[in-house]
Every structure is written in structure tokens, then in C-alpha cells.
Homo-oligomer: A and B are copies of this chain.
Amino acid sequence: MAYRETEKMRKRKAEARQRIIDCTYECVTEGGFRSARITRIAGLAEVATGTIYRHFESREDLFAEVFRLATEKEITKVTEALNTPGNAAERLEAALRQFSERALRGPVMAWSLLAEPVDPKVEEERLAYRKAYADLFEKTIRHGIEEGCIPEQNARQSSTCLVGAIAESLVGPLSPTHTNQTTNKNDPLVDAIIRFCMQGLTGTRR
């Protein structure tokens, strides 16, 4: 036996893998998945194209992983917002706001995650991602129903509607064709989305 993977090597490989992921992330942030070329990613990461295939089965797999990671970051943020103090309705509102504002702040990535046409494996990740949001919302709606601040309803269905309403409202402004003006912090768009959603949920105007 002459070669055996050592800690040093494991670390170096992990670093290369991470660099590839980071550079892919960067490319996607610039122009979405479709325009992210393997050669470009390899160039940025300072590895050969072949090396990318030592770390990922295929372009699609690499993209699926990057999608998943980007998604996890977003979900974490929304989860944090859901854990702020307040009743379920208030926390849900904070979460919707967090979601929307983050999307408007990183519009290309948000568009890629929400609406860019992608290959099947990545699309699968997207379905999972949307489901994850719906799950979070659903749980909180159930809490709200127990607490009494949200009326009895089909929590799963309502959470799906929430995800759809927000996504649709953002896709227009996020779309690459739509020239993006500066996003002011307290966007009235976000308020209007939230008003509709909370009303759909609670049946209460404010």
C-alpha cells in the first residue's frame, strides 16, 4: 500500500469542491443557471473542466447542489423570522416580509430559484424548496389556529397559496427583462403582497 487518502488531501479536495460551488454560485448570481458555462466556472475556480467532474457527476448535479445550498440559506432566514416573538400571525407576516425583501435584494438569484427554466434535476430541487416553504408556513398556520389568531382552515392549502402569491408577485419585478430600479427598503410592493396574504389567511382587513 503506497497511497492512502490523508487528512491534508481530504481538506484540499474539500476546498476545491467548495471553490467550484462558490464560483458556480457567483455565475448564477450574475446570469442564472442557463448561462453558467462549465468552462467559465472552471476558469473562475482555477481548475480544469475535468476536475469538476471529479467532484460532481454532471453539470445538472452541480447545479442541483448549488440550488439546494442557496435554498437552504433562504429557508434559514425565513425560519429565523418565524421564530421572532409575537403570535403566529405576526410571525408569519415577518416571514413573508423577510422572504420578499431578500428576493428583491438579490434579484437574479431569486429569479433563478423561483422562476428560471431549469433542467429536471434542478426543477426537482425547486419543488422541494417550495414545499419546504409551504411546510414552514403550514406549521405556523396550525399554531395560529390553536392560538386562535388565525381562523380554522385548510392549513396546507393556504400555505401553498401563500407561496404562490408571493412568488408570482415577485417574478414580475425580478424578471430579467424588467429593468430593476433601486429597491427602496420599505417597498410598497411588499406591503401590498403581505396585505393580501394576511387577509387571505385571517379574513381580517386592517
If the complex has contacts A192-B154, A196-B161, A205-B151, are A127 and B175 also in contact, measured as CB distance less than 8 A?
yes
Chain B residues in 8 Å Cβ range of A153: 195-196
Query: Are B205 and A205 within 8 A (Cβ)?
Result: no
Let me know if A38 is at the binding interface, CB within 8 A.
no
Let me know if A142 is at the binding interface, CB within 8 A.
no
Chain B residues in 8 Å Cβ range of A31: none
Candidates B124, B157, B196; contact of A169 at CB < 8 Å? B157
If the complex has contacts A189-B157, A196-B161, are A168 and B169 also in contact, measured as CB distance less than 8 A?
no
Let me know if A118 is at the binding interface, CB within 8 A.
yes
Chain B residues in 8 Å Cβ range of A196: 153, 157-158, 161, 200-201
A175's nearest neighbour on chain B, judged by CB, is B127
Give the CA-CA distance A52 to B128 in the complex, in Å.
39
Chain B residues in 8 Å Cβ range of A192: 154, 157-158
Query: Are B161 and A168 within 8 A (Cβ)?
Result: yes
Q: How many copies does the complex hold?
A: 2
Let me know if A163 is at the binding interface, CB within 8 A.
yes
Let me know if A165 is at the binding interface, CB within 8 A.
yes
Number of A residues, CB within 8 Å of B: 37
Query: Are A161 and B197 within 8 A (Cβ)?
Result: yes
Query: Are A172 and B199 within 8 A (Cβ)?
Result: no
A154's nearest neighbour on chain B, judged by CB, is B192
Let me know if A43 is at the binding interface, CB within 8 A.
no
Chain B residues in 8 Å Cβ range of A163: 168
Give the CA-CA distance A169 to B195 in the complex, in Å.
20
A-B contact pairs, 21 of them (CB 8 A): A117-B117, A117-B118, A124-B177, A153-B195, A157-B192, A158-B192, A158-B196, A160-B168, A160-B169, A160-B172, A161-B197, A161-B200, A164-B167, A164-B168, A165-B165, A165-B168, A168-B168, A196-B200, A199-B203, A200-B201, A203-B203
Query: Are B169 and A161 within 8 A (Cβ)?
Result: yes
